[in-house]
Amino acid sequence: MAEVKKKTSRPRAIVVDDGSLIKKEDVTTKVMRWIAGEREGYLIIPRIPTLYLARRGDIDTHSEEGEKYPFEKILQRYSETDPLILSKLIIFEDLTKRGYYISTDLEGNVLKVMTAVTGKEKYTLFVLEEGGDFPIDLLIQRLRTSPTPIIIGIVERRGGITYYSLENFLGGDGSG
């Protein structure tokens, strides 16, 4: 992995469809935690951590052409292919503040929640929006097959979050 240096300037990140790319030599301690891989000599930061770091001002985001790429524009770009991206970001920020590490490279509205210290998976989290579709069949299937507890995170229209344990929500054993 890249050597982490203490820097006074923010690392430059190139925004791409699946996240952002950062040069190995530009990695800082604030960014290191969110590196998910490597591509063509760059390190990859997934979409949600890219939004998180851009919103906090921890990275300096640019387009592939070199123009400044503000948070709002990144959010708009990612929303085109993931309508739940803002809700995922809200939950990501909340759980990160609580000391969890979130794996965001999963499909659909599913996130994996891990303890930051051990990296061991603690929960499977479904992101839902107030008034949105509720994939009950998928949730019941996951409840029966998941090795970790299922949590539903519902993001309200005004940005509040309510978490439910699926076992409690469905009445204990998932049978309804």
Q: What is the pLDDT of residues 140-176, one digit of tens each?
A: 777 778 888 888 899 999 989 999 887 655 554 444 4
Residues of the chain with CATH 3.40.1170.20: 12-79
Nearest to 141 by CA among 157, 126, 162: 126
Residue 4 DSSP code: P
Query: What is the predicted pLDDT for the residue at 149?
Result: 86
Residues 165 and 122: beta-carbon distance below 8 Å:
no
Q: Which CATH fold would you assign to the domain 12-79?
A: MutS, DNA mismatch repair protein, domain I (3.40.1170)
Tens of pLDDT, residue by residue over 122-150, are: 888 888 899 888 777 877 777 778 888 88
> Could you name the CATH architecture of 85-169?
3-Layer(aba) Sandwich (3.40)
Residues of the chain with CATH 3.40.1350.10: 85-169
**Distances 138 to 40, 126, 158 between C-alpha atoms, Å:** 36, 10, 26
- Enter the pTM of the model: 0.83
